[in-house]
Amino acid sequence: MPSPAPGGSGDPQNPTDTSKAGWISGILNADPRGDCYTLTTDDGDLYAIYHPKGGPLHRGQRVRAHLTPATVRIVCGEGRQVAADQLAAVH
Buried b (16+ CB within 10 A) or exposed e, 7-43: eeeeeeeeebebebeeebebebbeebeebbbbbeeee
Task: Say yes or no to pLDDT of 5 above 60.
Answer: no
Q: pTM, whole model, 2 decimals? A: 0.75
Who has greater pLDDT, 85 or 10? 85
Sketch the domain layout of the chain as residue ranges: 22-89
Domain 22-89 -> CATH class? mainly beta
Measured CA angle at 72 (ends 43, 76), to 5 deg: 45
Q: What is the pLDDT confidence band of residue 9, given thresholds at 50, 70 and 90? A: very low
User: What digits encode the pLDDT tens for the residues 15-36?
Assistant: 444 455 799 999 999 999 999 9
- In this model, does residue 10 exceed pLDDT 80? no
Q: Which of 32, 75, 82, 77 is closest to 55 using CA atoms?
A: 32
Instruction: Give the DSSP letter of residue 7.
Output: S
